[in-house]
């Protein structure tokens, strides 16, 4: 009789422990994801700044720079038509006040509220250049990958129509 009681108590205590662990994880996991997303957004800002530095450092026609580009979450867009570099991530972290732009150097950060998640958009405006991808004015979307991309940035002279330097991107 006492042996049965011991087993019932053991099972009940184990269930209580599992419920407590589950309750703690339900509160902690979103906070951990939010902190991880914040760190990822800050790393992406550094990546966009390194792309910016790579473009400035190119100098004259024919020069080329290679940048390691790791994307663990979100997407990076090279918009050759509008001369923008855009990074979008769905995040729990509210990087800026929703609907308001904040400026970090030449990067504009914007947060849009979407239910429990937010869409954080980081935009680098390169209107003083003619950005291309693979020598075409088109939109290239780079998605997350387990291994880093190698992004080639090349200076291809000046555009005959606008006189802006042509900066070409390519994944190698």
Antiparallel, parallel or unpaired: β 130-133 and 165-171:
parallel
Higher pLDDT, residue 92 or 22: 22
Q: Which two tokens stand for residue 114?
A: 């979407």
Q: Name the domain count of the chain.
A: 1
Report how far residue 119's alpha carbon sits from residue 45's, in angstroms, rounded to the nearest whole number. 15
CB neighbours of 98 closer than 8 A, spacing ≥ 6? 111, 112, 113, 118
Is 106 a residue whose pLDDT tops 60? yes
Q: Domain range for residue 103?
A: 2-171
Angstrom distances, CA of residue 89 to CA of 38, 52, 65, 139, 151: 10, 20, 26, 17, 20
> How far apart are the C-alpha atoms of 18 and 98, rounded to whole Å?
37
pLDDT of residue 170: 92
Mean pLDDT of the chain: 88
pLDDT at 1 exceeding the cut of 60: no
């Amino acid at each position: 009789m006492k042996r049965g009681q011991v087993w019932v108590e053991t099972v009940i205590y184990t269930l209580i422990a599992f419920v407590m662990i589950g309750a703690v994880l339900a509160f902690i996991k979103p906070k951990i994801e939010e902190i991880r997303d914040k760190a990822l957004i800050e790393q992406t800002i550094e990546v966009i700044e390194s792309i910016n530095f790579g473009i400035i450092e190119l100098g004259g026609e024919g020069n080329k720079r290679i940048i390691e580009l790791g994307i663990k979450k979100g997407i990076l867009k090279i918009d050759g038509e509008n001369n923008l570099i855009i990074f979008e991530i769905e995040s729990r972290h509210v990087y800026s006040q929703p609907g308001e732009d904040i400026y970090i150097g030449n990067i504009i950060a914007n947060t849009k509220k979407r239910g429990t998640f937010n869409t954080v958009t980081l935009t680098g405006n390169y209107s003083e250049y003619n950005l291309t991808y693979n020598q075409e004015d088109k939109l290239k979307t780079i998605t997350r990958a387990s291994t880093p991309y190698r992004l080639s940035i090349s200076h291809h002279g000046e555009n005959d129509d606008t006189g802006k330097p042509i900066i070409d991107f390519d994944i190698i």
